[in-house]
Amino acid sequence: MGDEAPAYGDRAGHGSGAGRPGVPPHEDPPPGPLVGADWLARRLGSPGLLVLDASVGAHRGTAERIVGARPFDLDGALSDHTGPLPHTMPDAGPFTEELRSLGLHDGDTVVVYDAVGIYSSARAWWMLRAMGFDRAAVLDGGLPGWVAAGLPTESGAPAALPERGDFTAVPGAGLLVGAEEVAAALSDPASAVFDARSRERFRGSAPEPRAGLRGGHMPGAVNLPFGEIQHEGRMRPAAELRAAFTALAQDRERLLFSCGSGVTACVLTLGATLAGYRDLAVYDGSWSEWGLPSGNRPVVTGPAAEAC
């Protein structure tokens, strides 16, 4: 039921050798899906390193950004606006065009961050992975952690790019899934479906922020609010992450993630990756699709399996 997420740099042509003609891949790929401010600060401005600001909502277009960062526009060009659901993945063609316009080459290293800590940056990271680019990492602590460390920022319009990139998206199978795959996973004893929303929204005791959606959760889903695997905008240690996921997944190794619109589900996906899980997928439509009043998807209310 879908493919396992690849290890870093193991997919030929995307983060593993292809790039600008005559220019080798960036020689210092990220050590994993998460890097610290010190790691980025030592490499900031080096050729082949692209820093992307994936802030959304109220934090989009923040006046302050990491020096040289480019906008990964989740609210705009990097969501599919041909349908009714927010933040769903665009097709490979528009995704390729937007990333090329940001200067991305196939052999580059990418670090993504956001203005919250770890929030929408995880979505950008998983989108890159789903489109075949494996040399990407999330900045632990995001912009707040960077600023707190006294590291350089800038404001105003970004400088013009010296050249377009040559990145080409190659969508992978099974990393982003639809409602049918989620429905099958809910009855699969080898799979667990995690919901990253708050306990109140999961139980149906608080309204959904998007008008018209039903309250509650999928029958059989488990609840791990995305903020509970972080501390002050940084990911908790790997051992704590493994314990949090194992408490709910038990011996199931195929994990699927949902949230309100497919953004914070990716925070759980990042946490599960750090915890050592490899067979992972994000429900792209998430509750914005499952919770539609016109849909025929089952919804239940009240507590279920939740993080302690």
Query: Among this protein's residues, is 308 annotated catalytic?
Result: no
Residues with Cβ within 8 Å of 37's Cβ and at least 6 positions away in sequence, in order, are 139, 140, 141, 145, 146, 149, 151
**Distance (Å, rounded) from C-alpha 221 to C-alpha 202?**
9
**Distance (Å, rounded) from C-alpha 143 to C-alpha 164?**
26
Where are the strands (E) in the chain, listed by range?
Answer: 34-35, 49-53, 65-66, 70-71, 109-113, 136-139, 153-154, 176-177, 191-195, 222-223, 230-231, 234-235, 254-258, 279-283
| Closest C-alpha to 14, from 92, 66, 81, 70 | 92
Which of 179, 259, 263, 268 is catalytic? The answer is 259
* Active-site annotation, residues: 259
